[in-house]
Amino acid sequence: MALDQKTGSDLQSRFDRVITHIDDQMRNEDQYLSLDDLAKVAAYSPFHFHRQFTALYDMTVSRYVRLLRLQRAAHALLYRKNRSITDIAFDVGYENAESFSRAFRKLHKQSPSTFRVNPNWDHWQTPYAPLAHVRRKAMNSTNNRKIDDVTIIEMTATITACLDHVGAPSRIGETIQRFIAWRKTHHLHPSKHATFNILRCNPDDTPPDEFRMGLAVVTSQDLTTKDKEAGFYSITLPAGRYARLRHIGSDTLLDETVLHLYRDWLPNSAETPGDFPLLFQRIAFYPDVREHEAITDVLLPLA
């Protein structure tokens, strides 16, 4: 049994390397991902690679690559309004805008231009659920969190402008669009003005209509009446000690990082949570970076 377990673990890790390799190449539109090349990454027979990939991840490698490209395109259409559809098509590996539009319409039942203006916020991510399954499986096999991954930091009082998302988590993309547009208008670029999420409740045990999460950007600018009418308000992230655990990769496993903080670290730390919600500080954003390179600091305020 031990030999079988070791063999299975080795096989999984070899194919997880393939997932990382695909992610690494996804931003290179000239990169052709052949089955033979991917089989070499896995050190696996090219005659059997595609069947083993499907057996491990419940989808073909070609479907995985196609969904990954279209997911990146969907994010760019929604949140990178300055990019043309043709540029987005090239960026995600399509030879021309026409072939990209056909593939996008087949998946979303909308053209890219219609989707950009009027997406179905409740369901636009539904076609990409299989990707979350693959990522969760691949990341879990290499996720070796340790208690000493957590560090204690001191934060100064931080003034932010915040916009709350209230309602079903599936519609948070709509609020993110408003948040991005507002911060662009106010010249609050992420490279100079840090971005935080304020987690006021847990989506797993909160009715969708009552879910609330703050989207905050660091700024000391005074909010105008128009800003306040748009839903923005000033909130200060309190000074003090915070437990920080860095999450690198897709948001798919952010809940596991949070769970590690509460389940594994906190009971062994002699620390007590402070009277303020959990924070996510967004350090590097998808799709500006590859999804597996996105960086989020999970910050737990301490008493």
Over residues 23-39, the pLDDT tens digits come to 877 765 445 678 899 99
pLDDT for 192 equals 94
pLDDT for 3 equals 37
Residue burial 267-285, b: 16+ Cβ < 10 Å; e: rest = eeeebeeeebbbbbbbbee
298 and 258 in contact (C-beta within 8 Å)?
A: yes
Per-domain boundaries in the chain: 2-142, 147-301
Q: What is the mean pLDDT of residues 289-302?
A: 90
Torsion of CA 17, 22, 28, 29, to 10 degrees: 160
Residue 177: how many other CB atoms lie within 10 Å: 15
Mean pLDDT of the chain: 89
Residue burial 198-223, b: 16+ Cβ < 10 Å; e: rest = bbeeebeeeeeeebebbbbbbbeeeb
pLDDT for 7 equals 60
161 and 231 in contact (C-beta within 8 Å)?
A: no
> Does the pLDDT of residue 146 top 70, yes or no?
no
294 and 286 in contact (C-beta within 8 Å)?
A: yes
Helices (H), the chain: 2-25, 35-42, 49-57, 61-79, 85-91, 97-108, 112-117, 129-142, 172-185, 225-229, 254-260
Over residues 178-230, the pLDDT tens digits come to 999 999 999 999 999 999 999 998 888 889 889 999 999 999 999 999 999 99
Q: Which of 45-49, 133-137, 235-239 has the highest mean pLDDT?
A: 235-239
Of 281, 219, 294, 277, the closest CA to residue 245 belongs to 281
pLDDT for 202 equals 84
Distance of alpha carbon 153 from the chain centroid: 24
Q: What is the mean pLDDT of residues 41-53?
A: 93
72: tokens are 């990146």
Task: Tell the residue number behind the tokens 């179905």, with chain if given.
Answer: 120
CA distance 19 to 36: 15
Confidence of residue 141 (pLDDT cuts 50, 70, 90): low
Name residue 298's beta-bridge partners: 245, 280
SS3 197: strand
> Does the pLDDT of residue 6 top 50, yes or no?
no
pTM: 0.82
Q: What is the mean pLDDT of residues 84-102?
A: 93
> Does the pLDDT of residue 114 top 60, yes or no?
yes
The count of residues in the chain is 303
Q: What is the mean pLDDT of residues 80-86?
A: 92
100 and 94 in contact (C-beta within 8 Å)?
A: yes
Task: Compute φ and ψ for 221, nearest 5 degrees.
Answer: -60, 140
CA distance 85 to 104: 11
Assign domain 147-301 to its CATH architecture: Alpha-Beta Barrel (3.20)
Of 71, 54, 69, 70, the closest CA to residue 18 belongs to 54
Between these two residues, 144 and 233, which has the higher pLDDT value?
Answer: 233
> Does the pLDDT of residue 107 top 90, yes or no?
yes
pLDDT for 140 equals 59
104 and 70 in contact (C-beta within 8 Å)?
A: yes
Distance of alpha carbon 197 from the chain centroid: 13
Q: Domain spanning 2-142: which CATH class is it, in words?
A: mainly alpha
Q: How far is CA 189 from CA 72, 85, 193, in A?
A: 21, 23, 6
Over residues 228-275, the pLDDT tens digits come to 999 999 999 999 999 999 999 888 888 889 999 999 999 999 899 999
SS3 166: strand
> Does the pLDDT of residue 4 top 60, yes or no?
no
pLDDT for 9 equals 74
